[in-house]
Structure 1
Amino acid sequence: MPTSTALPDFPDDDPADLAWWLRLSLAEGVGPATARRLLAAFGLPGQLWQADASALAAVVSPALAARLLRAPTPAVRAQIAATLAWLQQPGHAILTLADSRYPPALLDIADPPLLLYLRGDPAWLGAEAVAVVGSRNATAQGIAHASRFSRELSRAGLSIVSGLALGIDAAAHEGGLDGPGSTVAVIGTGIDIVYPRRHEALAARIAAAGCIVSEYPLGTPPLASNFPRRNRLISGLARAVLVVEAAAQSGSLITARMAAEQGRDVFAIPGSIHAPLAKGCHQLIRQGAKLVETTQDMLDELPSRQAVRVAHPSPQSQVDDDAMTSLVMQAMAHDPVDIDTLAARCGLEAAVLAGLLLTLELAGRIELLPGALYRRLE
């Protein structure tokens, strides 16, 4: 029986070499729990391939032990080669469980990933953070809430963690980028894939100023089963989770449940009893989530932030807001217009525009019509 199956064309003299970690993560039949069991028994990945079949079979099934001792397939070799080549590009990184940069917060959860693939600065994974999640089909008011809360939390020094999805996630990332806390995107695809595609520009900004992280190998497509699983990392990286809008059956509620199981605080923004996207938040509040109306409500609950007060807008920021409001009113005719068309006319980010439209609607200067169309009233 062979006692070693070195990877041709890859270094095999260092059991901690990344090629061994990649081989273990790509091994057929080896999930995260099995991989951690093997590491606990044999140490570093390269060392387990120095073991014989009987030693491996004491930890995993004989069939899996025999499979592990076979030479890696051409597909596995190609994946390792492609990953190592991807790693040579600036701003790319892979953290293993043994890496000192691996975020301590994830080591505390039940099933930390074997590997983390990153675009951006790994240091952001260790920053104190709040996760902001909610519906993909968010209302304009929900988007405004997510953007404002995230911006103010970021300006208070907290990083914003979310999932790069449409709706609330995108607004949360935009708000996080607007402050020194920046933002972390946890994705459910390979790190080389941006999903949805319309967020490629947003993803590039996050990679430049924050971090994008995935536990999935390069090339992994957007499989539906991957997204609920990645939610444990969104909550795991954060000190608390804020749910902005969520239907009664929402993936955001999965994140909130995982957060509670991980010992994180859960916050929720209430809404109208008639709003479908408020039902999930109300359900969480009934189950013990903390109702919040302002960012300060959250900061008051976080021990490390209780001395931090949200800064009031400066006179200059008020001037900037007035200028943007004037721009929107000038761009909006009395004929109904959708938010995308209006954004193109004004040159404003969708999340910022949504907040301005909500303010103008509440002030009675515009009205929201069926079909998400806006019309100027003055």
Structure 2
Amino acid sequence: MNDSELLYLLALQHVPNIGDASAKKLLHHVGSAEGIFKEKKSNLLRIDGIGEARIKDLFDPVHRNAATAELSYIKEHTVDVSYFMDSTYPENLKHCLDGPLLLFSRGNINLNNSKVISVVGTRKVTSHGIDFCNRLMEELGPVNPIIVSGFAYGVDITAHKAAIKNNLQTIGCLAHGLNQIYPKTHQKYTIQVEENGGFYTDFWSSDEFERNNFLKRNRIIAGISQATIVIESAEKGGSLVTAEIANSYNRDVFAVPGRTSDSQSKGCNNLIKQQKAHLLTSAADLVYMLGWQLDEKPAVQKSLFVELDAEEKAVYGVLKEGKLHLDQIALNTDIAGYKIASILLNMELNGLVRPLPGKLFELI
């Protein structure tokens, strides 16, 4: 994308009454951002859904002037810019109608990995929530997903730090421009995040930071991922909004259950009760529901001295007869399905079984 087209895309993004969905519609019909600003107003009004109110301010020079200033910032600070049609734009986000027209980033983000999950939750995270998040990241290490969150207090920063500790790429989605960090106390984590992933935002350096920005930011967190995990949440909260957005995108949502008396578990319990989220108790639940396989790594030599518990011995016994579907393993061993996924993952990590396409498993 050349600087001229980027300038007009920025100008289009700056028009207050033209959101991302309308901007994409205009681009589809006209062909380029520059063409939109040079098109006759009467022709634009013929486009379905584009009325007078939508484009009344389109030709105001203030948008071009603002875009010129932002382009200067982008060039001066070497900001990476992804247009929603670019190959560098997150694939999952391309399928969201209201996904950002332009996405600004910095760091070392690598989206070649198709396994992307978002982890969200309350800013007032409990010790139970922190422990669960840390354990989840550790269990997900062999699967090697990208961990996305909002770089805020509580669950967000816990997820970023745990991802880094377990050598997982992590991406922080910001509710402001790349020229600042909120909260300021998290400035000390920015270098680590950029070395192990980076930051995304669709806000400009000139945008004022407002609380409402978080709601807009949440659509990126939900849209960029295959699934959204809510670790802890009160009865109301921003993470529940993110879960609702993820559901609207037809993405999987998972929630960690808690005691009914715990205020920071009410939101998660309600999501599960209302069937808006799958119950999540371990990484095995996630791996099973999303149909993930372990990343390709050097073959693990099977140890003849691995100690198996009674249930693992039962699974090992039925798999001696040949490869079986996960549900068939549960049926043949008389072990509950929700436990089988966890047992198989543990046996896989010990080099005893391997997953096959179609939720089949076999002994190594």
TM bucket normalised to smaller: 0.7 to 0.9
Shift of 1:108: 1.1
Which residue of 2 is the match for residue 198 of structure 1?
Answer: 185
After TM superposition, give the deviation of residue 183 of structure 1 in Å.
0.5
Equivalent residue, structure 1, for 2:59:
69
Q: Which residue of 2 aligns with 1:99?
A: 86
Q: Work out whether residues 150 and 173 of structure 1, in 8 Å CA contact, stay in contact via their aligned partners in 2.
A: no
**Does 2:179 correspond to 1:179?**
no
Deviation at 1:37, TM superposition (A): 2.1
Question: What secondary structure sits across from 1:305 in the alignment?
Answer: coil
Note the 1:192-341 alignment, pairs <5 A.
192-288=179-275, 289-305=277-293
Give the match's secondary structure for 1:67: coil
Cα distance change of structure 1 residues 146 and 238 upon mapping to structure 2, 3 Å threshold: same
Q: Over aligned residue pairs, what C-alpha RMSD do you find?
A: 2.6
Note the residue ranges of structure 2 that are not aligned, 5 or more in a row: 298-364
| Cα shift at 1:125 | 8.1
Q: 1:5 corresponds to which residue?
A: none
1:108 aligns with 2:108: no
Decide whether the 8 Å contact of 1:120 with 1:210 is kept in 2. Answer: yes
Separation (CA, whole Å) in 2 of partners of 1:231 and 1:55: 34
Report Cα offsets for 1:244-288 as digits up to 9, x if no partner. 110111211111122122122211111222110011111111122
Which letter maps to 2:284?
Q
Cα shift readout 1:5-50 (whole Å, capped 9, x = no counterpart)? xxxxxx9xx6962111111111243222221221122111011122
Judged with a 3 Å threshold, the aligned counterparts in structure 2 of structure 1 residues 153 and 83 are, in CA distance, closer, same or farther, namely: farther
Q: Distance in 1 between matches of 2:46 and 2:235?
A: 45
Separation in 2 of the partners of 1:55 and 1:179? 54
In structure 1, give the amino acid aligned to 2:13: S
* Equivalences, count: 294
Report the Cα offset of residue 180 of structure 1.
Answer: 3.6
3-state SS, counterpart of residue 266 of structure 1:
strand
Q: AA paired with 1:208? A: E
* 3-state SS of paired residue (1:282): helix
Cross-structure match for 2:146: 159
- The Cα shift of 1:208 comes to 2.3
User: 1:42 and 2:34 equivalent?
Assistant: no
Contact 2:231-2:255 within 8 A present in 1 as well:
yes
Distance 1:54 1:156, change over 3 A: same
Partner-residue secondary structure (3-state), 2:214 = helix
**What is the TM-score with the length of structure 1 in the denominator?**
0.71
Q: 1:243 & 1:63 partners in 2: Cα distance?
A: 38
Runs of 5+ unmatched residues, structure 1? 1-10, 310-378
Equivalent position amino acid for 1:220 in 2:
D
Which residue type is aligned with residue 30 of structure 1? I
Question: Do residues 121 (structure 1) and 111 (structure 2) align?
Answer: no
Q: 1:192 to 1:76 in 2, by over 3 A?
A: farther
Partner of 1:25: 13
Partner AA of 1:270 in structure 2: P
Counterpart-to-counterpart distance in 1, 2:234 and 2:210:
22
Equivalent AA in structure 2 for residue 274 of structure 1: S
* C-alpha distance after superposition, 1:158-198 (max 9, x if no partner): 01111111000000001111234311111111122211111
- Shift of the 15–138 alpha-carbon distance from structure 1 to 2, 3 Å rule, reads closer
Quick one: structure 1 residues 121 and 307, their matched pair in 2 at CA, closer, same or farther if it must change by over 3 Å? closer
Cα separation, 1, equivalents of 2:135 and 2:185: 22
Residue identity in the other structure for 1:197: K
Q: Alpha carbons of 1:192 and 1:241: their partners in 2 closer, same or farther (altered >3 Å)?
A: same
Runs of 4+ in 1 over 6 A off after TM superposition: 306-309
**Percent pairwise identity:** 30
Read off the aligned partner of 1:85 and give its amino acid letter: Y
Preserved CA contact (<8 Å) 1:120 1:207? yes
CA displacement at 1:308 relative to structure 2: 9.5
> 1:86 aligned to 2:77?
no
- Stretch moving more, 147-156 or 129-138: 147-156
For residue 246 of structure 1, give the secondary structure of its aligned residue in structure 2. Answer: coil
When residues 55 and 248 of structure 1 are mapped into structure 2, their CA distance, relative to the original with a 3 A threshold, is same
In 2, the alpha carbon distance for the partners of 1:253 and 1:300 equals: 23
Name the structure 2 match of 1:358.
none
Structure 1 pair 234–79 and aligned structure 2 pair: CA distance change class (3 A) = same
State how far apart, in whole Å, the 2-side matches of 1:270 and 1:64 are. Answer: 44
Amino acid at match of 1:57: L
How many Å apart are 1:222 and its aligned residue? 2.9
Q: 1:35 to 1:140 in 2, by over 3 A?
A: same
Aligned-residue offset at 1:126? 6.0
